[in-house]
Amino acid sequence: MLLAICIKDINAQIVPNFPGFTFRWAGGYAWAPTAENIPAPLINTLTPAIDQFANLANINAPNSTNQLVHNSFGHGFNLGLRFGYMFNPYIGVDLGVSYAESKTISAYQQTILYQPDSAGNATPSGGYLDNTITAKSQSLVLSPSVIFAYSKPKYKFYPYLRAGLALPVYTVITNKLDMVMDGVGATSTSYAAPYFLGDITTATYQTVTQFTVGFNGAVGVVYRPVNFINFFAEINGQYLNMKGNYTLLTEWTADGNDMLASRGPYREETIYVKSLNSQSNNAAYNPNYNPNQPKQDVSPVFPFSNIGFNIGVQVVLNTKVFKDQDGFDQYRGPKVKKVKKVKKKKKVEEVKPTQ
């Protein structure tokens, strides 16, 4: 009801939106600005005991082709809130919190299926392992910013520039793998360590990232139809790369059989460290590694940069815009010509002739 009254009274006196608080709701979509490699779990039956991340690629072993997939986990939609304060028409500060969900990034891989021969050596089985792998992220990001605007009260439209930091407080990347044996069937050997593969195998990995610092900014325009309800549109960008904190294998099912516990702690969880040495719990560096402890490894880099747009609504929390105050010559309606005051003629007293 209040909004309807304000819109109806659109030509009423316009008062400044500053100093005062602003509150924004926004939603938008972003794309990958450059070609970035996407880290994903690598399944290689030639070295089945080694679990690692590699650059996601479409692989066709029969044709010997390997095409890298380029994208960014910043590619997707976002929803956000921002709360700020404008000191004057030109400068202010705000703090935003946003939820972002990336587009699903996928690849198809057909690799040669190796199995051990009678001597235990890895040998091509004559079949293939068809693997469909997907990657998707969910993030919660804080973004403190400085705002530069040209928001004079008489302007119905005004531009602004926002620049600040991107602080991802929580990010999880989920990889799902659907693997199918092609040309051969599962055997007791393929079900056993270190393969754990059936005719159809499903796996899910979740990577939680480390806290890091990135940068973001936007340039946009605000449409101010009434004092305290504004609409805006902006082009925004973000520069952000993140490393993993740990990766957890949450599902490994072979033909409906849960094989997760059989893989053991070393192949269920990877904890990321800055560097590896002979004391690290990594079989490639330490022959005396502990299989009952999570694996240690150096984290791959996950790209989250993007460029996109947002649209939304801004509410101005300023007591002045709710009151009819004098002293602001900010009328935006049609100009009305001033009517000159007509001076009243003085009455002339009638003088009677003397007798």
CATH of 18-322, one of 3.40.50.720, 3.30.390.10, 3.30.750.24, 2.40.160.20: 2.40.160.20
- Give per-residue pLDDT as tens, 218-250: 999 999 998 788 999 999 999 999 999 999 999
What's the pLDDT at 3? 37
What's the pLDDT at 151? 87
Q: How confident is the model at residue 332 (pLDDT cuts 50, 70, 90)?
A: very low
What's the pLDDT at 317? 84
More confident residue, 342 or 166: 166
What's the pLDDT at 11? 44
347 pLDDT more than 70: no
For the chain, give every domain's residue range: 18-322
What's the pLDDT at 339? 56
Burial class (CB in 10 A: 0-12, 13-18, 19+), 311: middle
Q: How open is the CA angle 128-133-139, to the nearest 5 degrees?
A: 165
What's the pLDDT at 153? 78
| Average pLDDT over the chain, rounded to an integer | 89
More confident residue, 353 or 3: 353
Q: b/e for 194-207, b at 16 or more Cβ within 10 A?
A: ebbbbeebebbbeb
- Give per-residue pLDDT as tens, 250-288: 999 999 999 999 999 999 999 999 999 999 999 999 999
5 pLDDT more than 50: no
Cα atoms in the 13 Å half-sphere on the side-chain side of 84: 29
